[in-house]
Amino acid sequence: MEFEEIIRKRTAVRKFSDKKLEQEKLDKILEAGRLAPTAKNSQPIKIYVVKSEEGIEKIDKVSRCRYGASTILIICGNKEEAYHKGEYTTYEMDSCIVATHMMLEATNLEVDNIWVESFDEKILDQLLNVNSFFEKIF
Ligand SMILES: Cc1cc2nc3c(=O)[nH]c(=O)nc-3n(C[C@H](O)[C@H](O)[C@H](O)COP(=O)(O)O)c2cc1C
């Protein structure tokens, strides 16, 4: 897909089919995240892939916004590992850039996607043992 077409086609999808995401496509999406820039190249991001039945059940306790998606990526940024100066830290920016890269690659591969911020971070930490400071689901 041409880049212009990708950015025009990307849209928040709120109804997903049962179709499983192929591993090859998932690998490409994760690779797009890996190649994203981070401040000082600190790469303070961890991405959890949730696709097991058990994991999906837990996700549904954490957020109402799964919309039937069969694969969830939880993007976590580490405040300490990110570039920081006093209180200022780039972990949120770094996380957002990684997420955006992955969404655009997903769209390029015709994989529907949505960025979701509405979730309970405490329950997420408890259920999925996510050990980080900043999380997003999409
Ligand atoms: C930071 C961020 C958080 C979002 N959180 C949610 C969310 O919790 N639930 C949801 O249904 N959509 C969420 N969205 C999707 C937006 O509502 C959607 O991207 C926006 O309405 C624009 O539509 P478009 O993506 O189709 O252009 C989020 C998008 C962004 C960028």
pLDDT at 133: 52
Alpha carbon nearest to ligand 1 atom 22, residue: 12
CATH number at residue 60: 3.40.109.10
Q: Compute mean pLDDT per 10 residues along the chain, 138 residues long, and list them.
A: 97 94 97 98 94 94 94 91 92 94 97 94 81 54
Alpha carbon nearest to ligand 1 atom 17, residue: 12
The residue range of the domain holding 63 is 3-137
Ligand 1 centre distance from Cα of residue 115 (Å)? 6
pLDDT at 118: 92
pLDDT at 115: 95
**Most ligand 1 atoms within 8 A of CB, residue of 115, 124, 136 to mutate:** 115
Three-class SS of the chain: CCHHHHHHHCCECCCCCCCCCCHHHHHHHHHHHHCCCCHHHCCCEEEEEECCHHHHHHHHHHCCCCCCCCCEEEEEECCCCCCEECCEECHHHHHHHHHHHHHHHHHHCCCCECCECCCCHHHHHHHHCCCCCEEEEC
Model pTM?
0.94
Alpha carbon nearest to ligand 1 atom 18, residue: 12
Domain count, the chain: 1
